Every structure is written in C-alpha cells, then in structure tokens.
Structure 1
Amino acid sequence: MALSSFAHDRHGLERTDADWLARAWSDPTTRVLAIAGNRMLVRDGAPAWLPVAELPAVAQEEGALRLLVGEHEGATYFAAVVDPARAPHPAEQWQGTRDVLEAVLESERGPLLLHAMGMAEWHWATRFCVRCGGPLTASHAGHVLVCSSKKGCGRQHFPRTDPAVIMLVTDGEPGSPEERCLLGHAQVWPEGRYSTLAGFVEPGETFEDAVRREVQEETGVGVGAVTYVGNQPWPLPASLMIGFRARAATTAIDVDGAEIAHAAWFTRDDIARGLADGSLLLPGPVSISHALIQGWYGAPLATSW
C-alpha cells in the first residue's frame, strides 16, 4: 500500500526538549516544508523541503509554528506553518495534499508529507477550546494545543484521526472464474468510475461491524466473514483507512441512492474487459482501494484517476 511505506522516527520524546529542537532547527541538514494554512509550498510539482536559510522569510520568523515532523535517513524534518494571508508566493505555488499525491508516491518522503499536512490541517481547523471557547496555544512542537483562556481552563487538545473502514466484498468460489467482487459508483463520479465501498466507524462499533453496516446501508448486501488486510493513512483531511476483505452472505443489490448511485458485481473477466475498452475506471495506486482490488484480481492493474 503506497502511503503505508517508509515510516520515519517521529522523535516524540524530543517534542518538549527546547534545546534539542533549537539544535535540530539550526542544523544545516535539516529540511523544512513551508505550509500556509493547509497548503504547502511546491516547486517543480513536488513539495519543497528546503534548508531553513532558503525558506520564505515569513516561515523563518518566530511567529511561524515550527512543527517537528521527525527524522529520516539521518536528517530532521520540520514544517513551518504560517498564516496564509502572509504567504508571499503566487497562489499556484501553494497546493493541497491531493495536488501532489502522485509525486509523493515516488518519494520516500511521502509519510513525512502526510504527517506534516495532517498536522497543519488540524491546526487550520482547530482554533478554539471545545470546553470554554478560549484561544489555543501550540505545545509539544505542534502536536498538542493547550487552552490559554484567562478562565484557567488549560484543556489539552490532541490531533484527531477518524477511522474509516474500506472493504472489497466478494462472492463465489474463491479463485474460480465465477468469483465476483462488489464495486460501487458514487453520485459525484464520472460515468464508469467504480471503487470499493467505505465508511466511517461509529462510536462503540468494531471495525468488522462497521464493514457489515456500511455495506448493508450502501448496497443492501449482507456480509458474513470479514478479514483484515492492512491500513493506510489518508490525511485528506484526517482519516485512517482500515482495509478488509469481506464475504457476501446475500447478493441482491439495493443501493441507498444517497452516497452510492449504482453498484454491481464484477468478475475478473469483467474487470479485464472494462479496463481494456475504457468503460471501467478503477482507483490508481495511491489508494488502498487499488491494493484491495489488485490483491483479489491477482495481477497488476494499470489504473489511475
């Protein structure tokens, strides 16, 4: 799974060590990504991880949030998060995560970027204390927000990650020509685009129960056995995708008409023909959907959205 590779050392124990952070920031090997709100500085179509001295002036100022990302191959990485109103470059040089995903897949810095942008998105969306409405101050190198209200609330806020299940439902004798997988077409997608089903986990719900509920709600198909496959960060803005294979207990389709406009069963031959004639569009390798479908299909899928 493309976005699950190349984990970095997040240096969690150093987030409160001011001396360590100062030394790391001043190290000439350190690289920093400037982020304005929730958009990153991009050069030549890729995230611009720069030496501190080459950052835009606004990103070098004390007022910029120096967010520690971690260490990779001996170098330390930060993000400098600034007010987008002060971003000095033309708008086209500041892009969101989705705009650079394909470039990210080609780089071992992918997890660094997802970490930095996920945190920046959290800072961008989390402005006030949920308990008293007071202002928040960054702590722990950007990984904690503390209420600094004069009322003395002091509540700590931590980054939010929303778990979502994503599943490939199958029917028929495994490995046989008649085995099928269930794919859905969302209301907002162009004609011919299909993918695996997915949905957020609700409070008090197991991953497996979430799989069964989401499939039932979206397509009317009942699910029996559910098997874990893998997971992938998806900070767009703040999700963790947990992937599963699921076996259908019933096969009649009755779509909800809200999120899913159409769903269908596909054999491997159906997928091969659809990809060959262009009538079927499947997710590209950036998505865990691609890994789930390709794992079942049994051969590489040259697909991209």
Structure 2
Amino acid sequence: MIPYSGLRLDRASDRRSDPDWIASLRASPGARLLPFWRDRYAPDSEPVGDEVLLGVADGEGVFAVELAEEPASTVDVRSLFGDISAQESATLVYAKALLHWNRNQQFCGACGGGTRPRHGGNVRDCLGCGKELFPRIEPAVIVLVEHEGRALFGRHVRSDRFSTLAGFVDLGESLEDAVRREVAEEAGVAVGDVRYVGSQPWPFPAGLMVAFRAQALSDVIDVDGDELSEAVWLTPEQVRAHHLPRFKDSIGAHLIETWLAAPRDL
C-alpha cells in the first residue's frame, strides 16, 4: 500500500453540519484526541486547545487538538513512519494537515475579515463577508521516466541525493501535460507515453502527489540548472548502488521499488 493512503476513518461528511452530534462524539469517554503543536505531534501532552473533528472510528470520534501552550516534547510525524501502523500514520498526517489549514486560515482572503470554524473545523466562515472557506489541496506530479532499461533521476540544487522528478501542476494543465512539462523543463528530456500509477496524500502541508511512469523519446539530457544541478540515467544496479529511494514514506519510493522489481520500459 502507498504510504499515508487507504485511511479507513469515516470522515462523516454527511453529519459534520450537526454541532450537537459532534458534541456527543466529543463527550463520549471513548473519544480520541490527538494533540499537536505547530505541525508536530505531542503524544504525551494533555490535549487542551482548539479541536477539529477528523472522523469516526469504531463508533467513536477522533479529534485533533491544536495545543494552547507549547509542550515539553514533540515529534515529527514523518519520523514515526514504519514504527506505527499504516492507519495510524495516515490518521496523523491527516490531523496535521487539517490543523495546519485552520491555523493558517484565520483571515479571509477576499475581505480580510476574521474567520471561525464550522463543521468540526472542515469549513471556516468569514465574519466579514460571509464567504465559506474550504481546505485546499496542492496537486503535484511525480514521475519515473524510462528509456531502454534505465530510469531518469535528478539531483536538486540543494540536495546531494538523486530522486525521481516532480513538480506542481499549473493552472489550466492536465496531469499528463504537467509530467511532460516538468521533465522537459528540469532535465530537457522529451516524454511520449505517460501512464498513471497512483496517488498519495502528502499533507506537508497540503500536497497531493500523483505518480506516473513515462517513456522518454530519447536519452538526451539538458538540465535547467535552476532546480536540478544534475540528471542521469541509471540502471537498476546503479540505483541500488546509490541506495535509492532515500525516503521510504513517499510515493517516489513506490515508483522506484516497483521499477526495480520489473525494470522494463512501458
């Protein structure tokens, strides 16, 4: 399973508009509270602060809490990957994302008025103009480009490690067009066939990673120098020698590992 996906929590979208129902969930002794401090999980802290409803699990409400005071210790959610269950990881990154949005949407972008939460923190209303504000997702594509048994990897100007190519989707652009543009812009490689692989919530803070495999039309590389300092074609043996992938919790790791298991072109 792709990390952070497959969350089985019932988000209860059809009942969130009922504050009495949310209050009854919160009043239950079985309600679960996940405390955070500015994007970091604080599992040992008393959960006192602003709360948002994540959903329902086994009939009980699951809430995330933005702590009112800085706790003694916190932990990066990503650092827990592999040490906790897949469901727990997915729940924690969801909690982090929803709290982050509420914390950073205190004012309306249309009129500048203050906002207040509704629907358990999944909507915010502007107190000035009445505009409803909803969480926004920032889609990005990530791609493993293939050519004659090798795969394309780039090294970012601020990194010492190779990775698959990725970039945000522009307005008025399809996902497939974004793949072709990003690969051409960053590595100067022309891409033909593009095949969808899967997607991954990437709430750091609000991304959605959409993964593809693509076929290069040639192996000519011309890096842009702005985002990538280097791009190379690597065989499966070379990929293993570089100890890729570096981060096991990204869909980029899934792309690399599935290619290593069957390294053949589209």
* TM-score scaled by length of structure 1: 0.81
2:210 is matched with: 242
The answer to whether 1:296 aligns with 2:259 is yes
Work out the CA distance in 2 between the residues paired with 1:98 and 1:237.
Answer: 12
Residues 230 and 244 in structure 1, CA contact (< 8 A), matched pair in contact too: yes
Q: Secondary structure at the match of 2:4?
A: helix
The answer to whether 1:98 aligns with 2:73 is no
Amino acid in the other structure paired with 2:83: A
Work out the CA distance in 1 between the residues paired with 2:100 and 2:255.
Answer: 27
- Post-superposition shift, 1:280? 4.1
Work out the CA distance in 1 between the residues paired with 2:8 and 2:247.
Answer: 22
The answer to whether 1:120 aligns with 2:99 is yes
- Post-superposition shift, 1:120? 1.0
Work out the CA distance in 1 between the residues paired with 2:31 and 2:50.
Answer: 16
Q: Deviations over 1:82-101 (max 9, x none)?
A: 34xx23x21xx123433434
Q: Secondary structure at the match of 1:10?
A: coil
Residues 170 and 246 in structure 1, CA contact (< 8 A), matched pair in contact too: yes
Q: Secondary structure at the match of 1:19?
A: helix
Work out the CA distance in 1 between the residues paired with 2:226 and 2:57.
Answer: 43
The answer to whether 1:68 aligns with 2:53 is yes
More displaced stretch, 7-16 vs 140-149: 7-16
Runs of at least 4 residues off by over 6 Å: none
Residues 168 and 181 in structure 1, CA contact (< 8 A), matched pair in contact too: yes
2:123 is matched with: 144
Work out the CA distance in 2 between the residues paired with 1:67 and 1:265.
Answer: 46
Aligned-residue RMSD, C-alpha: 1.8
Residues 4 and 86 in structure 2, CA contact (< 8 A), matched pair in contact too: no
Q: Secondary structure at the match of 1:264?
A: strand
- Post-superposition shift, 1:102? 4.1
- Post-superposition shift, 1:7? 2.8
1:284 is matched with: 247
* Correspondences of 1:266-277 after superposition (within 5 Å): 266-272=234-240, 274=241
1:9 is matched with: 10
The answer to whether 1:255 aligns with 2:223 is yes
Of 181, 187, 205, 1:219 maps to: 187
Work out the CA distance in 2 between the residues paired with 1:6 and 1:123.
Answer: 21
Q: Deviations over 1:104-160 (max 9, x none)?
A: 5x34222211211101111222221111111111111001111112xxx10111101
Gaps of 5+ in 2: none
Structure 1 residues 185 and 119, CA, compared in 2 at 3 Å: closer, same or farther? same
Amino acid in the other structure paired with 1:67: V
Higher helix share: 1
2:157 is matched with: 187
Structure 1 residues 122 and 74, CA, compared in 2 at 3 Å: closer, same or farther? same
Residues 8 and 111 in structure 1, CA contact (< 8 A), matched pair in contact too: no
Work out the CA distance in 1 between the residues paired with 2:77 and 2:54.
Answer: 16
Q: Deviations over 1:229-277 (max 9, x none)?
A: 00000001110000000000121111111211111001112223x1xxx
More displaced stretch, 156-165 vs 116-125: 116-125
Work out the CA distance in 2 between the residues paired with 1:245 and 1:142.
Answer: 37
Q: Percent identity?
A: 39
* TM-score scaled by length of structure 2: 0.92
- Post-superposition shift, 1:289? 0.6
Work out the CA distance in 2 between the residues paired with 1:270 and 1:39.
Answer: 36
Amino acid in the other structure paired with 1:283: R
Residues 70 and 77 in structure 1, CA contact (< 8 A), matched pair in contact too: yes
More displaced stretch, 244-253 vs 213-222: 244-253
Q: Deviations over 1:29-58 (max 9, x none)?
A: 111011233322134xxxx7xxxxxx34xx
Amino acid in the other structure paired with 1:75: E
